[in-house]
Amino acid sequence: MRWTPGGRSQNIEDRRDEGTGGLRFGGGGVRLGLGGTIILLILSVIFKRDFFSLFNASDSGVPAPSNSRVNQALDAREEPLVQFVSFVLDDAQNTWRQILLARRVQYQDAKLVLFRDAVDSACGFAQAATGPFYCPVDQKVYIDLGFYQELKNRFGASGDFAQAYVLTHEIGHHVQNLLGIDRKVHQLQGSNPGAANELSVRLELQADCLAGVWGHSTDQRQILEEGDVESALNAAAAIGDDRLQRMATGRVSPESFTHGSSAQRTQWFKRGLSDGSLTACDTFAR
């Protein structure tokens, strides 16, 4: 993508260096949750030995760097990515502000919360393994930037437009929230629990399509470069329910899908990308 590095969005909320309810020890990155911390404390009291010190040294016997120094190094390494997601966040929200204005809907900016390992949101406590998510209660998108490395290494989806797709999918959920779609879907799920998964899939596929609508605008403004579209489609396919289930269990259970298959996700992203309008993203009518 063509973009100019530098600066941060005013809608970035950086919580990467905040505590997350657990302790990280040693240069190897061993992490203890609250339960593990309590166990070590009990052992230290019973045997009158500092069991925490066993984790405070790296494998080489050299004292591990402090959390502060480790975090500062990670922050510096992630800064180019922070600037990129800032650009995508602002560009996507400015695009939707104009689109919704034509529908006489006032756009309200979402915040993007950057965190590491785990985070406490208005929708509850979440770990990085959950992946990026949108919380409609506080109108914030949450992402551990380490997800992008996992997207590349584990799922084979690299490229900055692939990263942009992930973020704009979550912004798509914010648009659904502003339009009242999210609320209606949850009401339908409550009244018809048997259709909950199917409705969830339709909601997620619509967010994919809305990400494509933003992608259409970047193409119109000649921001895209060769290979960008392919990288986003690869990312959409990489996180389809069927592929994730096959990787996890070796089999596919369509009845338990919540986000849609790889084919569905790429199909709806392509629909938004080619059409560029909200009307093209009515996943509930098809």
Question: Each residue's pLDDT tens digit in the chain (286 positions)?
Answer: 888 888 899 999 999 988 544 444 333 334 444 444 455 455 554 544 554 454 444 444 444 445 676 778 888 889 999 999 999 999 999 999 999 999 999 999 999 999 999 999 999 998 888 889 999 999 999 999 999 998 888 888 888 999 999 999 999 999 999 999 999 999 999 999 999 999 999 999 999 999 999 999 999 999 988 888 999 998 999 889 999 889 888 999 988 899 999 999 999 999 999 999 999 999 998 6
pLDDT score, position 286: 60
Domain ranges, ordered by start, for the chain: 27-63, 67-281
Helix 228-238 with 262-275: angle, nearest 10 deg: 150
Q: Does residue 117 contact residue 133 with C-beta atoms inside 8 Å?
A: no
Say if pTM beats, i.e. exceeds, 0.85.
no
pLDDT score, position 42: 53
